[in-house]
Amino acid sequence: MSDLYEPKPEHKFTFGLWTVGSIGKDQFGVPVREPLSPVDLVYLLADVGAYGVNFHDNDLVPFDATPAERDKIVSDFKKALASTGLKVPMATANLFNHPIFKDGAFTSNDPQVRKFALQKTMQAIDLGVDLGAEVFVFWGGREGVESDATKDPLLGLKRFREALNFLCEYVIDQHYNLKFALESKPNEPRGDIYLPTTGAMLGFIPTLDHPDMVGVNPEFAHEMMAGLNFLHAVAQAWEMGKLFHIDLNDQNSIRFDQDWRFGSFSIKQSFFLVKFLEDVGYTGSRHFDAHAFRTENYEGVKDFARGCMRTYLIFKEKAARFNQDPEIQALLKEINADDGAMNNFDGIYTAEKANMLKSYRFDVKALSERGMMYERLDQLTIDLLLGVR
Ligand code: GCO
Ligand code: MN
Ligand code: MN
């Protein structure tokens, strides 16, 4: 039984260098953990059983590293990957930390900053592809404003679009096998960030020159910060063929970005998310974009990382049980029962169907009085999740 909860490569569990490598700094406090090198972090992730490691350019190569330093760091990192077997499925660029990005990167009001961001991103793409990445994430943490007096939102969208169009052409020109995944967040660190939800990103993608190369990287906590249902955002992305990556973590409702261990707070929502990913056959990375509590040392960081994967696998097993549970399935069948009486109205529109439907007499009273049994179904779900079923 317990083996069911052991992470294996086929589960595609990945972590960012910045996640297990977080030193526990926050707005009010200094770091609580000594930094570990990227190589140490690869070994830590291998130790807990992860499949892969993702990074921002500067998690691996410091912003001001010389070319020689860069080469040494990359070569040491590659050795660690080779000896542990860890993969690099995703890479990204840090376009938010350095003061040059204080007004954003692609949407900065300064044309030089915008071009610097493109230069830095092309270099980050080269680095990611060199290490095997096939997905490149764009999280525009500073692409926004504190005050709309400072930036025209139409210009913000236009600049962001132009940058992505340029970078798609760059990828095509280099013959890279790389897709882009856009990650939204409503706020933090900016007062408001452009394209604040996954739905907004999905609406923006068709306006690009190469929409086929661009999908989304929805993050659990970010949709929660906007008070939204994460599963619904993921389902829409999936239906559109745009779920290129996913950031799993947790969050207590509408607050700052808490980045908690996956499944540690929102048990029911996380369960239905895992059930969805497993039911539809999502094959991408299950990436944990989360941080250990600031109270932890590196043993605690390992507990955190193991916990993310373990909880995912517990939910996966519970999802299989949900799908096989006779009482739950019978209820679902009954709830969705269809006696075929409406079949004549199905399918494409015809004037005849419309006329027939307009004159059909529904038993409104009976339909209104029908109990849906959702309380029973939901309680069965709770029983299952709480382990008494
Ligand atoms: C955040 C974001 C980031 C991004 C990361 C990769 O709120 O800090 O979620 O962790 O996911 O920068 O693009
Ligand atoms: Mn986040
Ligand atoms: Mn994220």
Q: Are residues 330 and 318 in the same domain?
A: no
Closest Cα to atom 7 of ligand 1 = 257
Shortest CA distance to 82 belongs to which of 49, 46, 56? 46
Number of domains into which the chain is organized:
2
Q: Are residues 51 and 165 in the same domain?
A: yes
User: To test the ligand 1 pocket, which listed residue (98, 138, 142, 183) has its Cβ within 8 A of the most ligand atoms?
Assistant: 183
Closest Cα to atom 10 of ligand 1 = 289
* CA 86, 91, 96, 99 torsion-angle sign: positive
pLDDT tens-digit series, residues 46-68: 999 999 999 999 999 999 999 99
Spacing, Cα 162 to ligand 1 middle (Å): 22
The answer, yes or no, to whether residue 294 has pLDDT greater than 90, is: yes
pLDDT tens-digit series, residues 174-210: 999 999 999 999 999 999 999 999 999 999 999 999 9
Q: Are residues 166 and 209 in the same domain?
A: yes
Q: Are residues 42 and 155 in the same domain?
A: yes
Spacing, Cα 151 to ligand 2 middle (Å): 24
Q: Which of 57, 59, 257, 325 is catalytic?
A: 59
**Which of residues 323, 352, 373 is at a domain's end?**
323
The answer, yes or no, to whether residue 1 has pLDDT greater than 60, is: no
Residue 80's pLDDT band (cuts 50, 70, 90)? very high
User: To test the ligand 1 pocket, which listed residue (17, 18, 139) has its Cβ within 8 A of the most ligand atoms?
Assistant: 139
Closest Cα to atom 13 of ligand 1 = 139
Query: What is the distance between the alpha carbons of residues 371 and 44, in angstroms, rounded to a whole number?
Result: 52
**Mean pLDDT of all residues in the chain?**
98
Question: What type of residue sits at position 135?
Answer: V
Residues with CB under 6 A from ligand 1: 56, 92, 137, 139, 183, 185, 219, 247, 257, 289
Q: Are residues 232 and 333 in the same domain?
A: no
For the CA of 96, the closest atom of ligand 1 is 12
* pLDDT of res. 2: 60
DSSP-assigned beta bridge partners for residue 104: 102
pLDDT tens-digit series, residues 133-159: 999 999 999 999 999 999 999 999 999
Per-residue pLDDT, averaged over 161-166, amounts to 98
Is 59 catalytic? The answer is yes
* pLDDT of res. 63: 97
Q: Are residues 57 and 35 in the same domain?
A: yes
**Which of residues 308, 323, 338 is at a domain's end?**
323
Percent of all residues in the chain with a pLDDT value above 90, rounded to a whole number? 99
For the CA of 92, the closest atom of ligand 1 is 13
pTM equals 0.97
Range of the domain at 348: 326-385
Q: Are residues 56 and 154 in the same domain?
A: yes
Q: Which of 56, 245, 287, 291 is catalytic?
A: 56
- DSSP labels for 203-260? HHGGGSS-GGGEEE--BHHHHHHTT--HHHHHHHHHHTT-B---EE-B--SSSS---B
Is 363 catalytic? The answer is no
Q: Are residues 235 and 368 in the same domain?
A: no
User: To test the ligand 1 pocket, which listed residue (56, 201, 247, 262) has its Cβ within 8 A of the most ligand atoms?
Assistant: 247
Q: Are residues 112 and 159 in the same domain?
A: yes
Q: Which ligand is nearest to the CA of 141?
A: 1
* pLDDT of res. 3: 84
CA distances to 137, 180, 209, 299, 302 from 248, rounded to whole Å, are 14, 18, 29, 21, 17
The answer, yes or no, to whether residue 313 has pLDDT greater than 90, is: yes
Query: What is the distance between the alpha carbons of residues 302 and 292, in angstroms, rounded to a whole number?
Result: 9
Q: How far does CA 185 lie from the centroid of its chain?
A: 11
Q: Are residues 284 and 330 in the same domain?
A: no
Q: Which residues contact 352 (CB under 8 A, 6 or more apart)?
A: none
For the CA of 19, the closest atom of ligand 1 is 10
With 0-12 / 13-18 / 19 or more C-beta atoms within 10 angstroms meaning exposed / middle / buried, residue 173 is exposed
Q: Are residues 335 and 201 in the same domain?
A: no
Q: Are residues 361 and 279 in the same domain?
A: no
pLDDT tens-digit series, residues 116-139: 999 999 999 999 999 999 999 999
**Which of residues 282, 305, 323 is at a domain's end?**
323
Q: What is the CATH number of the domain that holds 127?
A: 3.20.20.150
Spacing, Cα 128 to ligand 2 middle (Å): 20
